[in-house]
Amino acid sequence: MPGESLFHDLEPLLEQVNKPIQYVGGELNAQLKDWNCGGYGPEGEELTTRWALMYPDAYEVGVPNQGVMILYEVLNERDDALAERTYSMWPDMETLMRESGVPQFTVDGHRSVRDFDVLGVSFSTELGYTNLLTALDLAGIPMHAIERGLDDPIVLAGGHSAFNPEPIADFIDAAVVGDGEEAVLLITDIIKEWKSSGKPGGRRGLLLELARTGSVYVPSMYQVDYLPDGRIQRVVLTEEAQGVPWRVSKHTVMDLDEWPYPKQPLVPMAESVHERMSVEIFRGCTRGCRFCQAGMITRPVRERSITGIGEMVENGLAATGFEEVGLLSLSSADHTEIGDLAKGLADRYEGTQTGLSLPSTRVDAFNIDLANELTRNGRRSGLTFAPEGGSERIRKVINKMVSEDDLINTVAAAYGAGWRQVKLYFMCGLPTETDEDVLQIADMAKRVIETGRQVSGRKDIRCTVSIGGFVPKPHTPFQWCGQLSAEETDERLKKLKDAIRSDKKFGSSIGMRYHDGKPGIVEGLLSRGDRRIGSVIEAVWRDGGRFDGWSEHFSYERWMEQAARVFAEMDDPIDVDWYTTRERGELEVLPWDHLDSGLDKEWLWQDWQDALDEEEVDDCRWTPCFDCGVCPQMDTDIQIGPTGKTLLPLTVLGSGAKKLASAEHSH
């Protein structure tokens, strides 16, 4: 029977695998609803819309994901819908499931994923694509969308990578671009109506209804034609796509106070990558860092009010028992009321074990008062700053307006206030970058240590330099630029390592962490790829590709071998370099041009030219509009404070509250 629990078949496998608890479910605040919670229509038709939500990585990475957690709750609040979660099966479990005939299952009800109406997959990174294919294969869902029938789920992609879903167009039925909260409710309504009407038009009828909304992308409704040199000639609607718009618009949720999710955050059974409760304090960023896809595609800025955040923190802590609250956003210290917010929360939780954290902090938005509020009740861990570029010149190119003096002054204040450890995050391979730009990272790190020793009078000052390879992303000004090859990236990083190590005075106090250039090339292939890349993904998967985001499972050689084999069989003159290290021209049709992030392509091109001219652009939150296009095109606007409200401590939850409770108890 559809919707039956598979736990009886699964249970014998659990004692044979690593970390069996990740497959058991039953977490605090997890929900398990009746399979037919929506009831039946007059003809006996089902009126329940069922979602299997997947984060395509291991449980420990997927379970704290905010996006999945929010959609899980939004859907389960509806009487006529249910949502359960599924994650990628670790290779040992995958092997046993294949041997025992156990299909991909949800952790909530241990139901077969194939029994659901929708398999919604949230991609934060393109390196999860092979894990999607594993899940489809284990679920018994035909891998190619074109082969699926009436009883197969609609496979729906979301998340940041869905802004260019073309590399996985063969494997998904649809994609949602932008915020998911309202989108999943719209899709639920359409599926319910389709089911209650007797499923008119079959599977294609449902996909056509979704595509006609203009806010769900159905790749099979679009045809891509190529030029002899391999570039895209045009993207056109197919004949059957009557009433489907040529461009698909992104979803933007306005007034975040109306969407205070998650209200009941999940508390993982097994250890996860983030052992804390998180509250998103605002969405969007207009700092204009040219490398940052997240900042570009989530515009405009929408702040949650200080009182809304306070309520979410209070409710979330009560619901979970976590002792740390992460204040999340792309640049949390930019919230217009961050100082009042941090002080208000620190006051409220004074004397408790509750600590506050900001992910990484912009150098120019950080101050010691803020840092002290954040650490008042918790532990004082290291501080992380992201200058991104080693030289002043390269920071102008990427529009990261932070001077070296800004950084040194901030770091001096931190070391002087008792911090001992600072982490600096940079990128290698940025457009126009030279060896000299990268070697200046070493000079900056030495200045940091020297300053720290001076202001603290101590020798045990540490600085860790963490370096990631730059990958050009769609919908950014750098979407046209050539990527640095893996070999050149590695060579540049080696020179930097030598420069740090050779310094007798400061080298031993500077740690260096970096990825080699290889994973970045594969990510670059997938992030700016078109539909022809689907064959490469499938070939890699068939050759054993799994968990490409994990260094112990990732194989650069496998990707390069399979890509070479697949491209050799094509008529088009393309290879991995064609997708990665090649620079694009202004008039080239890009694979994602028919997906509308709100940003004008002309504005992005002009910003790319400004980058080459080393010209900086201000943040439009505090300056006149730069006509990026988002607000008028998406009918949205910037929503920021200050609200003028304060976060009054409802009760100070520390020692006073404990005394009061014991006094009441004694009566």
28-85 per-position pLDDT tens digit: 999 999 999 999 988 888 999 999 999 999 999 999 999 999 999 999 999 999 999 9
CB 167 within 8 A of CB 133: no
Q: Which residues of 545-569 are buried (b: 16+ CB within 10 A; e: fewer)?
A: bbbbbeeeebbeebbbebbeebbee
* pLDDT for 656 beyond 50: no
pLDDT tens-digit profile of 105-145? 999 999 999 999 999 999 999 999 999 999 999 999 999 99
Separation CA 366–CA 633 (nearest Å)? 33
Mean pLDDT calculated for residue range 525-529? 98
Separation CA 90–CA 57 (nearest Å)? 9
* pLDDT for 663 beyond 60: no
Separation CA 437–CA 191 (nearest Å)? 53
Q: How would residue 647 be classed by pLDDT, with cut points 50, 70 and 90? A: confident
Strand, coil or helix: 173 = coil
Query: Mean pLDDT, the chain, as a whole number?
Result: 92
Could you please report the per-residue DSSP string of 30-98?
-----TTTT-B-TTS-B--EEEEEEESS-HHHHTT-HHHHHHHHHHHTSTTEEEEEEEPPPHHHHHHHH
At residue 170, what are phi and psi to the nearest 5 degrees? Answer: -70, -25
pLDDT at position 271: 85
Separation CA 257–CA 378 (nearest Å)? 27
pLDDT at position 413: 86
Structure tokens at 526: 């997938």
Strands lying side by side in the sheet with 324-328: 277-280, 324-328, 355-357
CA-to-CA dists, residue 32 to 55, 82, 85, angstroms = 18, 8, 10
Separation CA 322–CA 316 (nearest Å)? 8
Name which of 158-172, 319-333, 566-580 the model is least confident about: 319-333
pLDDT at position 378: 65
Mean pLDDT calculated for residue range 267-280? 89
pLDDT at position 453: 94
Nearest to 288 by CA among 400, 174, 380: 400
CB 49 within 8 A of CB 191: yes
CB 144 within 8 A of CB 170: yes
Structure tokens at 91: 């290779």
pLDDT at position 653: 54
* pLDDT for 269 beyond 70: yes
* pLDDT for 189 beyond 70: yes
pLDDT at position 651: 56
Mean pLDDT calculated for residue range 490-519? 94
Q: Which residue has the higher pLDDT, 235 or 359?
A: 235
Separation CA 562–CA 544 (nearest Å)? 11
Percent of the chain at pLDDT > 70 equals 96
Sequence-ordered strand ranges (E) for 62-219: 81-87, 118-122, 154-158, 174-175
pLDDT at position 649: 55
Separation CA 416–CA 25 (nearest Å)? 46
pLDDT at position 650: 55
Separation CA 250–CA 67 (nearest Å)? 16
Separation CA 256–CA 280 (nearest Å)? 9
Q: How would residue 654 be classed by pLDDT, with cut points 50, 70 and 90? A: low
pLDDT at position 377: 72
Instruction: Give the count of alpha carbons within 13 A of 274, CB side only.
Output: 20
∠ CA 246-252-255 to the nearest 5 degrees?
155
pLDDT at position 357: 85
Residues 6+ positions from 659 with CB-CB distance below 8 Å: none
Most confidently modeled of 146-150, 283-287, 330-334, 514-518? 146-150
Name which of 50-59, 382-391, 579-588, 609-618 the model is least confident about: 382-391
pLDDT at position 302: 96
Separation CA 140–CA 460 (nearest Å)? 57
Structure tokens at 127: 């390196």
Separation CA 157–CA 212 (nearest Å)? 17
Separation CA 350–CA 333 (nearest Å)? 21
CB 441 within 8 A of CB 425: no
What element of type H or E holds 495?
helix 486-501
pLDDT at position 360: 65
Could you please report the per-residue DSSP string of 411-451?
HHHHHHTT--EEEEEEEES-TT--HHHHHHHHHHHHHHHHH
Structure tokens at 253: 């949720």
* pLDDT for 358 beyond 90: no
pLDDT at position 70: 97
pLDDT at position 190: 98
β 421-428/383-388 pair status: parallel
Tell me which DSSP letter residue 16 carries.
T
pLDDT at position 379: 65
Mean pLDDT calculated for residue range 598-605? 96
Residues 6+ positions from 16 with CB-CB distance below 8 Å: 92, 96
Strand partners, 463: 422, 510
Name which of 144-153, 189-198, 453-462 the model is least confident about: 453-462
| Report field, pTM of the whole predicted structure over 0.85 | yes
Mean pLDDT calculated for residue range 287-298? 95
CB 121 within 8 A of CB 132: yes
One-letter amino acid identity for 283? R
Mean pLDDT calculated for residue range 259-275? 91
One-letter amino acid identity for 438? V
Residue 625 neighbours by CB distance under 10 Å: 12
* pLDDT for 282 beyond 60: yes
